Amino acid sequence: NAGVTQTPKFQVLKTGQSMTLQCAQDMNHEYMSWYRQDPGMGLRLIHYSVGAGITDQGEVPNGYNVSRSTTEDFPLRLLSAAPSQTSVYFCASSKGAQNTGELFFGEGSRLTVL
């Protein structure tokens, strides 16, 4: 059982470049989300989705786009990378649209923007 799979695990970008972080889950979870984790701070929610075709902004959405065309996939797009987006990104999913249960995380994607 793969759970939540994120790719790539590591990425280095130059300022202004764009890229997509991929996230896929095979647990048929309705709720999916993207977090970033920075030193000394808790995980902060970027965007989330409660089902295919439905997305919404979290706490720190600026500079990021998401889409949810299928239940399984929830890619995160960086439109024009900035050094402030250097971080570790985690995709997480939860059974049910209300996210009342356990959050299952991917292994993380470490992004450096030069």
Interface residues toward other proteins, by CB under 8 A: 31, 33, 35, 40-45, 48, 50, 56, 58, 90, 94, 97-100, 102-103, 105-108
Q: What is the distance between the alpha carbons of residues 98 and 80, in angstroms, rounded to a whole number?
A: 31
Distance of CA 106 to the CA centre of its chain: 9
Complex with other proteins: residue 59 or 114, whichever CB lies closer: 59
State in angstroms the smallest separation of the CB of 107 from other proteins.
5
Complex with other proteins: residue 5 or 17, whichever CB lies closer: 5
The secondary structure of the chain in percent helix, strand, coil, rounded to multiples of 5, reads 5, 50, 50
